[in-house]
Amino acid sequence: MNKILLPFLAASALFASPVLAQNVEFKLVNESGFTLTYFYASASDDGNWGDDLLAEIGVLESGYESTVFIGDGSDQCLYDFRFETAEGPELEEFEIDICELSTFTLVAD
């Protein structure tokens, strides 16, 4: 690489502020007493639910766990979760910090 260009490239890297999109993988443990048929997640400041995160695995019965992947490219950490169940109830959890999340256990109240 040209020695003259190197300082300019280094300086431009310091001033660049790219948005860091994230892909998050975590373990979802279903202790709700319900069979989960759909799981949606969206950034807490977004009014729209994303795609069904259980689409590839189908349903998640109570007492079971699965790995879930959120790859929506958002740079947000706080997410809302919505679960639809085979038995009817919809369960929602709000402002989950997915940046620090390794396991999420769903328990119905």
For the stretch 54-62, contacts whose Cβ atoms lie closer than 8 Å and that sit 24 or more positions apart, written own/partner, are 59/35, 59/86, 60/28, 60/30, 60/35, 60/36, 61/30, 61/35, 61/36, 62/30, 62/31, 62/32, 62/33, 62/34, 62/35
64-98 confidence digits (pLDDT tens): 999 999 988 888 999 999 999 999 999 999 999 99
In this prediction the pTM is 0.79
| Domain boundaries defined on the chain | 18-106
Tell me: domain 18-106, CATH 2.60.40.2890, correct? yes
- Tell me what the pLDDT averaged over the chain comes to: 86
pLDDT band (50, 70, 90) for residue 22:
confident
